[in-house]
């Protein structure tokens, strides 16, 4: 039986192609020639014969992101691994645009089972894919709205939530940039709150009717601007020249406009009605978050004012109480506890007593005492022309470095809170309770008086820093001598008593001024052992033995310790 006339066969293909509105292709795998129907050419925008009828031509028209997958799908069918060839992919049309098509095909095999021919159809599914993607975007947007709604209800981090919403809006709109502006009623202006996309840090302020934000605010409705970079009312922002089209919606609660959300595109594109509708829904959620944010700010302000008023009410009573303690007014332990509770001081806590130098603005800082009390638990008041500071210090420590560091932190915090500078601060020993603060302030005043003479470059002077001058100031008070020895040599004596490390003996030899080599020979130890002992002594004392003031205090402490032992 002779083969059918090819012309009659082509006519039937053409009739079938026109009837089904599908482009037919017939690939002779032996010659690599491909027959394309007229509808196939028309579907891709070509004239019949305009492109070579080979399989290589078809492969060159595939979208680069789809080519590997599509060729693999065709190969799987040719090799018999799939019952038919079925593929959705993009093809480059004559105008250079890629459009979505569905390609279906079937392999014809010879008697030996070898593939000799493959016949199939192309169908334009651009609209179907567009609808599918649109539905997917809407579902993702609805999911985002649901998640954001839950977050807006339960999350108190409103600014973080607003930024997250803006990111979701930009993703849904497939925009290059997005902006959130919030209305400031005090200045009657729209001000940038946050941005999304490669915008850069900047704050835009828009009055009603100015720029895109101001026009949306004025109209109270959605606005779209085409060819934005040439628009006479474009905002003077760094990225304005890169914007080709933009749109935005107001953030409404009833008739009130709380802000504006706008998005920008690097290409000129129309915004679909369903996108505008979804943008309005995002805007409604954003407006609720902004209102909750404002209510939170109002509540914080109200609570702060209430707390400040409460602190102010007993502030004067607290200072009177503290001054009575400093003046030595007789009080029982019970009365001290009751008075402390009434003025808001923890009676069971320890305290750190501090006196500031006369060059600070004591009056101004004392006026800020309610603020310092609410933020730092710090009481500040004027006494005898100086600034007195009292801070709870629960840890019962007299470590000079630790207490000095705490005082320095408070000095810096006062500057941050009030803007006023305390250049020098005297610090007393740790006060176990309120009844001990009189001694603490006496020590702090002495530390400030003598410390600035000894260490003029320091900002914090601790009572233990003034060493011998403190002893002389006390006129040989035995209790103060014991205190001086304990705080100068106590740790070293205790360590030697526990470890039998011979550190005291080593320190005495070092203080006599001989070289380390001669000291090592005198003590019958290796120079490295002596060096190790010296470093250990410095670790325990918390300071280098190269400090002449420390060496003087240590020598005096040894002499007083020896005299006390003889007595």
Domain ranges of the chain: 6-124, 131-297, 345-466, 474-566
Q: What single-letter DSSP state applies at residue 256?
A: E
β-strand partners of 458: none
Closest-CA residue to 417 (of 382, 389, 445):
389
Residue 249 pairs in a beta bridge with 261
The CA–CA distances, whole Å, from 306 to 196, 297, 311 equal 38, 14, 9
Residues 248 and 261: their CA atoms lie apart, in Å, by 5
Q: Report the distance separating Cα 211 and Cα 260, nearest Å.
A: 12
Beta strands in 236-366 (DSSP E): 245-253, 256-265, 351-356
> For residue 513, how far is the Cα from the chain centroid?
55
What token pair was written down for 547? Answer: 């400090």
Contact (CB, 8 A) for 98 and 90: yes
Query: Alpha helix locations (H) across 50-157?
Result: 55-61, 64-78, 126-154
Q: How far apart are the first and last CA of the chain?
A: 140
3-state secondary structure of 85: strand
Beta bridge partners of 123: 102
Nearest CA-CA partner of 392 in 299, 442, 302, 318: 318
CA distance 180 to 108: 61
**Residue among 347, 328, 329 nearest 337 (CA):** 347
d(CA 437, CA 420): 25
pLDDT of residue 125: 87
pLDDT at 79: 93
H-state helical runs in 333-399: 333-342, 362-367, 369-376
What's the Cα-to-Cα distance from 549 to each of 513, 542, 543, rounded to whole Å? Answer: 15, 14, 11
The domain 6-124: what is its CATH number?
Answer: 3.30.450.20
Q: Check residue 157 and give its pLDDT.
A: 64
- Predicted TM-score (pTM) of this structure: 0.40
Separation of alpha carbons 488 and 490, rounded Å: 6
Q: Say which DSSP state 517 is in.
A: H
**CA-wise closest residue to 245 among 262, 259, 222, 258:** 262
Give the closest residue to 120 by CA, choosing from 15, 19, 24, 11: 24
Instruction: Work out the burial of residue 414: count CB atoms within 10 Å of its CB; fewer than 13 is exposed, 13-18 middle, 19 or more buried.
Output: buried
- pLDDT value, residue 247: 93
Tens place of pLDDT for every residue, the chain, 567 residues? 345 444 455 555 555 555 456 888 899 999 999 988 888 888 899 988 888 888 888 899 999 999 999 999 999 999 999 999 999 999 999 999 999 999 999 999 999 999 999 999 899 988 888 877 776 766 666 666 656 655 555 555 677 778 888 888 888 888 888 999 999 988 899 988 888 886 665 668 899 998 999 999 999 999 999 888 888 888 877 777 788 899 999 998 888 899 999 999 988 888 888 888 888 888 888 887 888 777 766 665 665 565 555 555 667 888 889 999 999 888 888 888 888 888 888 767 789 999 998 888 888 888 887 778 777 888 899 888 889 999 988 777 777 888 888 899 999 999 888 888 999 999 998 898 898 899 999 999 989 988 887 788 889 999 888 766 566 555 556 677 777 788 888 888 888 888 888 888 888 888 876 677 888 888 888 888 888 888 998 888 888 888 887 888 888 787 677 656 544
Per CATH, 6-124 and 345-466 having the same topology is answered: no
CB atoms within 10 A of CB 271: 17
For domain 131-297, is the CATH number 3.30.450.40?
yes
pLDDT at site 114: 93
Report the 10 Å Cβ neighbour count for 222.
Answer: 16
Six-digit token string for 326: 């400093």
Is residue 229 within 8 Å of 240, Cβ to Cβ?
A: yes
> CA 266, CA 264: separation in Å to the nearest integer?
7
- For 148-187, what is the HEC assignment? HHHHHHHCCCHHHHHHHHHHHHHHHHCCCEEEEEEEECCC
Tell me the two tokens of residue 559. 């002499």
Assign residue 80 a region (left: φ > 0; alpha: ψ between -120 and 50; beta: otherwise).
Answer: left
Asked whether the CA dihedral 540, 546, 549, 554 is positive or negative, the reply is: positive
Helix (H, G, I), strand (E, B) or coil at 426: strand
CB contact at 8 A, 60 and 54: no
Please tell me the distance from the alpha carbon of residue 419 to that of residue 110, in angstroms, as a whole number. 93
Which superfamily does CATH assign the domain made up of 474-566 to? PucR C-terminal helix-turn-helix domain (1.10.10.2840)
Instruction: Return the axis-axis angle of helices 478-499 and 548-566, rounded to nearest 10°.
Output: 100
* Helix (H), strand (E) at residue 116: strand 115-124
Contact 313, 185 (CB under 8 A): no
For residue 470, the model assigns a pLDDT of 62
Q: Which CATH architecture has domain 345-466?
A: 2-Layer Sandwich (3.30)
Specify the pLDDT at position 361. 85
* Beta-strand relationship, 460-462 and 425-427: parallel
């Amino acid at each position: 039986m002779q083969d059918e006339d090819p012309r009659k066969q082509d006519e039937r293909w053409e009739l079938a192609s026109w009837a089904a509105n599908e482009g037919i292709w017939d690939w002779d795998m032996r010659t690599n020639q491909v027959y394309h129907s007229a509808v196939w050419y028309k579907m891709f925008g070509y004239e019949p014969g305009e492109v070579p009828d080979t399989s290589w031509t078809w492969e060159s028209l595939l979208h680069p992101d789809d080519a590997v997958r599509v060729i693999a799908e065709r190969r799987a069918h040719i090799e018999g691994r799939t019952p038919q060839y079925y593929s959705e992919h993009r093809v480059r049309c004559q105008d250079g645009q890629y459009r979505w098509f569905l390609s279906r095909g079937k392999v014809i095999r010879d008697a030996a089972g070898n593939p000799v021919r493959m016949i199939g159809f192309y169908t334009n599914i651009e609209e179907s894919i567009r609808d599918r993607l649109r539905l997917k975007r809407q579902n993702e947007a609805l999911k985002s709205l649901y998640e954001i709604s839950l977050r807006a209800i339960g999350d108190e981090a409103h600014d973080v939530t607003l930024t997250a919403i803006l990111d979701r809006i930009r993703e849904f709109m497939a925009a290059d940039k997005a902006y959130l502006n919030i209305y400031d009623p005090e200045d009657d202006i729209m001000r940038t709150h946050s941005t999304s996309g490669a915008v850069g840090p900047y704050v835009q302020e828009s009055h009603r009717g100015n720029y895109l934000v101001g026009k949306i605010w004025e109209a109270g409705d959605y606005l779209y601007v085409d060819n934005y970079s040439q628009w006479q009312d474009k905002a003077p922002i760094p990225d304005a020249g890169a914007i080709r089209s933009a749109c935005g919606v107001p953030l409404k609660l009833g008739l009130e406009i709380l802000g504006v959300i706008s998005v920008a595109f690097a290409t000129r594109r129309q915004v679909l009605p369903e996108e505008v509708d979804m943008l309005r829904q995002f805007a409604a959620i954003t407006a609720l978050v902004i209102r909750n944010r404002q209510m939170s700010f109002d509540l914080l302000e109200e609570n702060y004012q209430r707390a400040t008023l409460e602190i102010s009410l007993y502030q004067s009573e607290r200072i009177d109480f503290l001054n009575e303690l400093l003046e030595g007014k007789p009080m029982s332990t019970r009365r001290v506890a009751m008075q402390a509770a009434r003025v808001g001081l923890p009676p069971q806590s320890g305290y750190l007593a501090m006196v500031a130098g006369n060059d600070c603005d004591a009056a101004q800082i004392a006026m800020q005492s309610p603020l310092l009390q609410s933020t730092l638990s710090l009481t500040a008041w004027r006494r005898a022309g100086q600034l007195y500071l009292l801070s709870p210090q629960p840890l019962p420590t007299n470590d000079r470095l630790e207490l000095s560091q705490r005082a320095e932190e408070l000095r810096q915090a006062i500057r941050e809170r009030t803007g006023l500078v305390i250049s020098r601060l005297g610090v007393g020993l740790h006060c176990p309770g309120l009844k001990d603060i009189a001694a603490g302030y006496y020590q702090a005043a002495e530390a400030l008086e003598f410390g600035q003479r000894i260490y003029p470059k320091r900002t914090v002077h601790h009572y233990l820093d003034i060493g011998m001058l403190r002893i002389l100031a006390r006129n040989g008070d035995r209790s103060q001598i014991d205190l001086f020895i304990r705080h100068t040599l106590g740790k070293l004596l205790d360590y030697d008593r526990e470890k039998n490390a011979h550190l005291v003996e080593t320190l005495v030899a070092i203080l006599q001024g001989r070289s380390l080599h001669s000291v090592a020979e005198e003590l019958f130890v290796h120079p490295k052992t002596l060096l190790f002992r010296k470093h250990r002594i410095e670790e325990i004392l918390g300071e280098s033995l190269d400090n002449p003031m420390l060496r003087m205090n240590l020598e005096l402490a040894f002499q007083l310790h020896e005299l006390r032992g003889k007595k």
